[in-house]
Structure 1
């Protein structure tokens, strides 16, 4: 049977369109955003502490980034930049891939090894892989991509096992001291100190946990003329006189992964997103608002996650170095036995404010990616029944996140101010040293 040239041309065009359709559909960054959000949801369900969540975000998003970048020569590998990270496996030049699928597979494969609810990851993975298949992706490309994603994931998993995390699981629990100035467990759960050995975790970009030591906290003193006493009174009064706006701000940035609620004789817990998870979601919102493609979104998650991880390591080093007592403990003992903070006091030392450190660091990194005056609406907390809030910039959001801890009655102002400075220094250091673009390409060029 003979076909006219016109008919053959039509068939050829249809085949080309079909090929382009699966390539276009599989490059949708929503595949990436949904995978990262799934990992957030699993960590919320599994009640991950903020430092542990930050470690998980770093490894999964580095894996996703490294698998995704091979379609674009403008991006550079993190190998040789992050401490202990060696060269990654490379795709076979004779094979065809969908690197977006490889990235999603890498994220979920690494993520599964770092959470308790493995079944939830498996269920989501089965669903999203089927969606990739439904784009019309050829079986050969599908299988090649899964294989490459697995190779990247195994490289990251092996690297993660050398960061001292496993060793810190068997170190001694924190010993509460009897002196007046040191941290004590607080109501209502009087929970033990969270991650007292986190400063032993290998850093990603910063030189060490103690590289960015903040100004020391004010010495403990209940002398009415002392700076410490005045800071305590400031916390006491701000909670007693809190405006509706201050209360709203405190609740919006609470980000307590395990809040204990008391109703009569019944105590129950509610789960919320971690502080790092909140900034991960802000990153997603920024990517979507600027229509960032798959690779650029993967880059944003990786840079932000690395910054979060290092910021938590640095902050936690200071927390267990200074061991500063929380306002709730001081106020209940010396000023008002019945006083309670607006927010539940977290179970670790006060200085410096973790929200302040990680928010300032995150703002620096995101401003480098999306601009200093990037206005956005933060809807992160809507799933926890809180209305969205609008911000003029990432720094604006960071400043509000920091002051929220003062309004909530769980931090002194010096902890917030010095925490912001500490986080800003960490963010600047990482932004200057972490290179995700080729030498002849700048971040601004690909916006």
Structure 2
């Protein structure tokens, strides 16, 4: 368990302002009490003891005026969420909202994995604490989700608060009234949980950016030479993506290099064999192979690779009719595993700085290589797609064991797609899959889920 002993200064206080009281009471009379389905989650992922103690000591916490900005009962996005709850689990519609923002704001996979983990830890813990306190889980989850989304997509911060309150109002159309005090405390609880997770994100190390120094990352005694990554055509993007990611805080891993694999040596028989395979496939790519490469590309403007596996999870969860508790837990573990897999992959990439196939095909084989998909701007070994997919398939399969084999097959196809696309070696993909699976097992073990 991660302990976050910080209190949220901007939610302290002893009473609502008159304006906040009026708005809260309007909301309160509309909200119905809904007991969470299934058994309560074992315990939150983060440590909220001091935050909840502060919440319980005060007669009321003062929420900032921005929470109530431009609130509209008829908000269209809130309507979609409430309607979705007729057939979907509590956390599913909010996951869709986040994936839509990934596409809208063209989020990179690295940042996408981190954001999905923060969001789903917040919703998991909000559901758990709401259940323990017999509060409206949908309202607590919605307010917590709005705070994390506002942190991740700052330009829409007020819009997410509006959506959360509009959700609260629209629940009234099919439910019973909630006592004003209960509604106020549920709103406060969701807000406090969400801000707690935001504080966790603000201190996870992801704020550090590239300093422009090219050679420092090659380490003592290293040199910028054969077999080492360099910017690739056609755009020669530089700097490489997220070189500081190995220093980000993990969820389950003890260290970013805990499962760091070892690549074949540059120019070794295995290395040459795998490079020849990339060139051979690229020169004889069949339409069905190109289709696979394109299906899993998940480039700019998409839901990204971690988002793709969240979309797969949504489909599996809804079809399998999992309960709310299991769904919240699955999503939290899925996204913590993908976030940790990403950190582990980036640790490996920036430890070895392995060149891409397009860089070494000419120097080692004397042939040009034009990949079927764009080569991303960071080192080759290991494949992030493979690791994301290996981790995701194992987490979802742990909850849906009847589908585990099919999910592993999908993960293998996602990994293979990077070879078919001409941007990864087979050893990148195979070792990436294994790395992701090890991370998934660590998440499931650390957070004590029987599988």
Aligned to 1:169: 209
Give 1:44 deviation, angstroms.
2.2
2:417 aligned with 1:404, yes or no? yes
Match of 2:61 in 1: none
TM-score (norm 2): 0.74
Q: How many residues align?
A: 365
1:228: which partner in 2?
271
Looking at structure 2, the residues matched to 135 and 23 of structure 1 have their Cα atoms a distance apart, in angstroms, of: 16
For the residues of structure 2 that align with 1:19 and 1:128, how far apart are their CA atoms? 12
1:218-264 per-position Cα deviation (integer Å, ceiling 9, x unaligned): 2222xxx73322221110111111222211111111111x2xxxxxx
- 1:44 is the counterpart of 2:44: no
1:116 and 1:341 map into 2 onto residues whose CA distance is 36
Q: CA deviation at 1:337?
A: 6.5
SS in structure 2 of the partner of residue 38 of structure 1: helix
Aligned to 1:86: none
Query: Are residues 1:195 and 2:242 paired?
Result: yes
**Against the structure 1 CA distance between its residues 325 and 308, is the aligned structure 2 distance closer, same or farther, given a 3 Å change threshold?**
same
Q: Deviations over 1:43-97 (max 9, x none)?
A: 2222222121111111110110111124657xxxxxxxxxxxxxxxxx4xxxx62
| Deviation, structure 1 residue 118 | 1.5
Shift of 1:327: 0.6
Residues 21, 135 of structure 1: 8 Å contact kept: no
Aligned-partner Cα distance in 2 for 1:123–1:187: 44
> CA separation in 1, counterparts of 2:34 and 2:255?
47
What displacement does 1:423 show? 1.4
> Is 1:239–2:298 an aligned residue pair?
no
Of residues 230, 235, 245, the one that matches 1:184 is 230
CA distance in 2 between partners of 1:242 and 1:142 (Å): 59
Q: Which runs of 5+ in 2 are unaligned?
A: 1-30, 38-81
Question: Within 2, Cα distance between the matches of 1:21 and 1:304?
Answer: 26
Corresponding residue number in structure 2 for 1:374: 403
Give the match for residue 173 of structure 2: 134
Q: Give 1:126 shift.
A: 5.3
Return the alpha-carbon distance in structure 2 between the equivalents of residues 21 and 101 of structure 1.
10
Structure 1: stretches of 5+ with no match in the other structure: 1-17, 74-90, 259-270, 376-391, 437-441
Do 2:418 and 2:424's aligned partners in 1 also have CA atoms closer than 8 Å? yes
For the Cα contact (< 8 Å) 2:294–2:373, is it kept in 1? yes
Asked if residue 219 in structure 1 is aligned to residue 265 in structure 2, the reply is yes
**Contact 1:304–1:366 (CA<8 Å) still a contact in 2?**
yes
Please give the per-residue CA displacement for 1:138-176, whole angstroms capped at 9, x wherever unaligned. 25244332221101112111222221122x236555548
Residues 358 and 368, structure 2, Cα contact 8 Å, conserved in 1: no
Report the Cα distance in structure 2 between the residues aligned to 1:113 and 1:20, rounded to whole angstroms. 28
Aligned to 2:307: 277
Structure 1 position 419 matched with structure 2 position 432: yes
Distance in 1 separating the partners of 2:302 and 2:280: 27
In terms of mean alpha carbon deviation, does 98-107 or 140-149 score higher? Answer: 140-149
Match of 1:152 in 2: 193
Aligned to 2:49: none
SS of 1:113 mapped into structure 2: helix
TM-score normalised by structure 1 residue count: 0.75
C-alpha RMSD of matched pairs (Å):
2.7
- Work out whether residues 282 and 369 of structure 2, in 8 Å CA contact, stay in contact via their aligned partners in 1: no
- Which aligned pairs between 1:49-88 and structure 2 lie closer than 5 A? 49-70=108-129
Rounded to whole Å, the distance in 1 between the matches of 2:122 and 2:333 is: 12
Alignment of 1:32 onto 2:87: no
